[in-house]
Structure 1
Amino acid sequence: MKNILIINGHQKYDSSEGRLNQTLMDTMVGFLSEKNQVKTSILQQGYNVAEEQQKFIWADMVIYQTPIYWFSVPGLLKTYMDQVYAYGLFFKGSDQYGKGGLLTGKKYMFSVTWNAPEKAFNDRAQFFRGADLEEAIRHLHRAQEFIGLQPVKSFACYDVVKNPQIDTFTSALIAHLEEVVND
């Protein structure tokens, strides 16, 4: 049994209500709660920084469920990281930059939703110039590495505005979780 923190980093805009990200989070909670202890944070509903920090200390694994807006996480999730990732609790100074993470022995996963089609990745002729998902979100991985977390393979839903396939997305997510969480 693992302690798993799932963070819904969706930020509402007129054109984006967040139903898909909440559906994916609900799918995770339902599936993972069968064999694990699960806590959640829905950033759009507000949060207490000290409580969030304690959730990270408690967690064996952190899962970020988030849309990708303009090639990064929403501003609300970035602000959360800025406020919650505290010096002395999540990281400290070290002789080598980036080697002072204090959350070692813990894992994390990104579950992301993109409006980009899947074919835009892994093809040098497409927009991401051959980059795969992990390379496209490398900057997000670096922030987690900085605090000591270890990655598991990320999950992505593509083309979510023009071609939403909710049943396919949730089935694929469960298969992914079986592979990377319930090992």
Structure 2
Amino acid sequence: MKNILIINGHQRYSTAEGNLNQTLMDKMVSLLSEKNNIKTTIVQNGYKIEEEQQKFLWADIVIYQTPVYWFSVPGLLKTYMDEVYAYGLFFKSADQYGSGGLLTKKKYMFSTTWNAPEKAFNDPTQFFEGNSLEDALSHLHLMQKFIGMKPLKSFTCYDVIKNPKVGKFVFELELHLKEVLNF
């Protein structure tokens, strides 16, 4: 049995209510709670920094469920990270830059929703110029590496505004969680 923290990083806008990200988070909770201890945070609803820090220390695995806005996480999720990732608790000074992470026994997974279609990645003639999804998420992976966490394979829903295939996304998420977390 693992301790799993699931964070919904969606930030509501008039054109993005967050229904898909909440649906995916709810599915994770439903699938994983049978054999794991689950705690959740919905950043949009507010949080207490010290409580969130304790959730990270408790967790074996942290799952970030988040849309990608302008090639990064929403501003509220970035603020959450800025406030919660504390010096002395999540990382410390080290002789070699980036080697002072204190959460070395923890893993994380990104579950992201993109308006970009899947074909925009891994093709040199498309927008991302041959770069992969992981390349596009590399700055987010570096933040987790800095605090010592190890990555699990990311999950992504593509083209969610133009072609919202919620049933397909939920089905693929379930397959992904079975593969990555062996539940």
TM-score normalised according to structure 2 size: 0.99
Q: Distance in 2 between matches of 1:181 and 1:84?
A: 25
Within 2, Cα distance between the matches of 1:129 and 1:59?
A: 37
**Runs of 4+ with deviation above 3 angstroms:** none
Q: Which amino acid letter does the alignment assign opposite residue 111 of structure 2?
A: S
1:173 corresponds to which residue? 173
Q: Which runs of 5+ in 2 are unaligned?
A: none
Q: Within 5 A, what are the aligned runs for 1:12-161?
A: 12-161=12-161
Task: Tell me how far 1:34 sits from its aligned partner.
Answer: 1.2
RMSD: 0.6
Q: Percent identity?
A: 71
Unpaired stretches in structure 1, ≥5 consecutive residues:
none
Separation in structure 1 between the aligned mates of residue 168 and residue 24 of structure 2, nearest angstrom = 11
Report deviation, 1:85: 0.1
Shift of 1:105: 1.1
Q: Which moved more, 1:56-65 or 1:123-132?
A: 123-132
How far did 1:132 drift? 1.0
- 2: distance between equivalents of 1:71 and 1:25? 21
1:126 to partner: Cα distance: 0.5
Q: How many residues align?
A: 183
**DSSP 3-state at the match of 1:52:** helix
Query: Residue type matched to 1:128 in 2?
Result: F
Secondary structure in 1 matching 2:179: helix
Q: Per-residue CA shift, 1:113-140, capped at 9, x if unaligned?
A: 0000000001011001111111110000
Q: Distance in 2 between matches of 1:10 and 1:181?
A: 23
Q: What's the secondary structure of 1:16's corresponding residue? A: coil
Amino acid in structure 1 at the alignment position of 2:10 = H
Please give the TM-score of this superposition, normalised by the length of structure 1.
0.99
Name the amino acid aligned to 1:62. Answer: V
3-state SS in 2 of match to 1:7 = strand
How far apart are residue 21 of structure 1 and its match? 0.2
